[in-house]
Amino acid sequence: MLKFLGINRNIRSIRRYLSIVRVLSRYGFDQVLEMLGLADVIVRSRRLFRPTVPDIAKLMAAERMRLVLEELGPTFIKLGQILSTRPDVIPRAFVLEFEKLQDNVPSFSFEEVQAQITGALGGPVEQFYAEIDPVPLAAASIAQVHRARLRTGEDVVIKVRRPGIVEVVESDISALMALAGLAERHMSGSELYDPVGIVREFARTIRREMDFSREGHTIEKFRDNFVKTPWMYFPRVYWEQSSRAILTMEYVAGVKVSDRERLLAQGLDVKLIARRGAGSFLEMVINHGFFHGDLHPGNVLILQDNVICLLDYGIVGRLDDELKTFLTDILSAVVNRDMDEVVSLLLFAGDISDSMDTRALKRDLFNFIDSSYEIPLKEIEVGRMLMEFIEIITLYNIRISPDLMMLTKSLVLIEGMGRALDPGFDMVEHLRPFVAKALRQKFSPLRISSDINKILFSYLNLARNIPRDLKEIINRINRNKFKIDLEHRGLDKFTAEFDRSINRLSISMILAATIIGSSIIMQTDKGPKVLDFPVFAFMGYIVAGIVGLWLVYAIIRSGRL
C-alpha cells in the first residue's frame, strides 16, 4: 500500500501520513478521503474510536480546513499561507480563511539555540559572538530571531533555524506528495489544478526559505539592484557567522511603516515614503524582474531621512522577460479595452480547459472594464482591481503563473500601505511611467531584432530535429517498438471496489458452505457432543454466526445495501 502511494518508507513519513488522514477525518472530511480511495484503509477502521471535534457541524468547510492546517503544524500552516495567495487554485472562501493562519508556535530554548549555532558554524558560540540575548525577538515555524553583538562590536540579529524542522518538513512533503498523487488518480477534474505540481512548487518554496545562505545572497542581490537608490537600505550580511541554518545580519533600528503617528512625530514625510515605496516596488518588478514576496507592514521599516528598509527575504518572486511582456501587454489591452487581445493573451499564457466559454469570458471582462472606467483614476485601487480580474478568469479555470499571483498580492499590500500613509495616494500615477517605459522597450529596434533572432533560431532547431525524429519513429515502427501509453484515470477506485465485492462474495460462499456442512454433521450421531449436539456442527454454527454478523455490519457501515 505504501509503495502504491509513493510515500517514503520510513517510520516518520508513514506515521505523518496516517496522522494527516486521521486529522482530516476528525474534522469531517471523510467524503474527501473516500474520493481519494482511503476510506476503507484508514477512516472506517478508526471511526468507532476517534474523538469528535465539538461543534464541527456548525463550521463551514473553509473554517474546518484552516483548523486542520493549524493542528497539523508548521509545514501545513506555511502551505495554507501560500495557498491564500492563489485564488486561481482554491475558492475565495478558503483564501479568506487561510489568510488568518499565523505562525503561533512557542520559542525553543536558548540551550537549543546555542547548540544550533555550534553545529552550524563549527565552533563554540563565544568564538563568533560577544553576547546573545537569550530572549528571542520573534519566533516562527521555521526559525526564531535573537539580538546579539559580534566580537568586533557590531550589533546584529541572528536568525536560527528551528531544531529538527528540516526532517519534519521533508516528512510532511512526502505525505503531501502521496495525497496529491491520489488526488490526480482518483478525483475528476484534478488536472485543472495540478495537485502534484502545487506540492512541488510548495516544496521548492519552503526548502528555499529554510536555506538561510540563499536568503543572505538574496539580500545582497537586492542591494546590488538598488545601489544607486539612496532611499533604499538593505541590512549587511555577516558571512563568517552565517550558514544554511544560521543567518547573521546587521541590526537595523527603525519605525514600522504601519506606525503613522510615530513617523509624523519624528518629522518624517509620509507622502514621500509612500511615493518612494511604490516606485521602488515597481522598479523591482518592471526593471529587475525580482521582487520581495512578503511585503506586509511588519517587514518594512522607515529610517531617518525617509529611508526604507525591507526585512525577511525568505520569499521572493521572479518575472522573466516573457512574464514581464505578458504583464505589460495585459495592462495595455485592459487600458485600451481590447477584449479580444485580453482573451488571446490569457489563452496563450494560462492553463485552460477545453470546454471554456470564450464568449462568456469576453462578456464578463467587458462588464469588469466598463465598471472600472466609471471610477476616477485617483480612486482606482490597482491591486484590488487585479484581484477582481483574477477572480473572473478563475471562474473559467484559467491558471496563471504563481509569481504573477504573488505579484498581485504584493501590489495589494503596497497600495494598502501607501493609502494608509497618504489618503490621496494614487497607484495609477506611479504605474503609468513604468508601463510606458516597458512598452517602449518592447517595441524598440533592439528588442524586435532580438525577438526575430530567437524565433528564427527556434525554427532552425525544429527543422534540424524533424528528420532525426521522423527517422526514429520509422525505425521504432519497423522494429515493432512503437508504443502508445494510455492512462486510465479513476480505474484504481473501480478495481478496489470490484475486489471488495469479490471478497464479500467469497466470504458469503464460505459462510454458506460452513452452514451446510454443519447441518450435515448435525444429522450424524458420531464424534464428541455438547448439549447432545455434535461439537463440530456446534463450532461451525458459531463461526458462521460471527462471520455472518460481521459481514452484515460491514455492508450496513458501507452504506451500500
User: Domain range holding 522?
Assistant: 491-558
Does residue 4 belong to any structural domain of this protein? no
Selecting among 88, 294, 312, 426, the annotated active-site residue is: 294
294 is catalytic: yes
Which of residues 492 and 296 earns the better pLDDT score? 296
177 and 265 in one domain?
no
| Residue labelled with grid coordinates 512548487 | 201
Residue 410's identity, in one-letter code, is S
User: How many structural domains compose the chain?
Assistant: 3
Q: Are 552 and 544 in contact (CB under 8 A)?
A: no
Does residue 383 belong to any structural domain of this protein? yes
Which of residues 17 and 230 earns the better pLDDT score? 230
Residues 6+ apart with CB under 8 A from 58: none
Query: For position 45, what pLDDT does the model report?
Result: 47
The pLDDT of residue 559 is above 60: no
Residue 44 host element (H or E): helix 44-46
Q: Of 417, 443, 469, which closes a domain?
A: 443
288 and 193 in one domain?
no
Query: For position 147, what pLDDT does the model report?
Result: 95
320 and 242 in one domain?
no
| Residue labelled with grid coordinates 457501515 | 557
The pLDDT of residue 71 is above 50: yes
434 and 366 in one domain?
yes
293 and 165 in one domain?
no
Query: For position 110, what pLDDT does the model report?
Result: 93
Query: For position 151, what pLDDT does the model report?
Result: 93
pLDDT-wise least confident of 115-124, 206-215, 489-498: 489-498
Predicted confidence (pLDDT) per residue in 269-292, tens digit: 999 999 999 899 988 988 888 999
Which of residues 149 and 459 earns the better pLDDT score? 149
Cα 306–chain centre separation = 35
**Model confidence band, residue 189 (pLDDT cutoffs 50, 70, 90):** low
Query: For position 301, what pLDDT does the model report?
Result: 94
Predicted confidence (pLDDT) per residue in 297-320, tens digit: 888 999 999 999 999 898 888 888
Query: For position 155, what pLDDT does the model report?
Result: 95
How confident is the model over 1-5, as a mean pLDDT?
45
Q: What are φ and ψ of residue 483, in 5° steps?
A: -125, 150
pTM: 0.73
Which of residues 540 and 560 earns the better pLDDT score? 540
Among residues 394, 540, 516, 506, the alpha carbon closest in space to that of 87 is found at 394
Residue 255 host element (H or E): strand 255-256
189 and 290 in one domain?
no
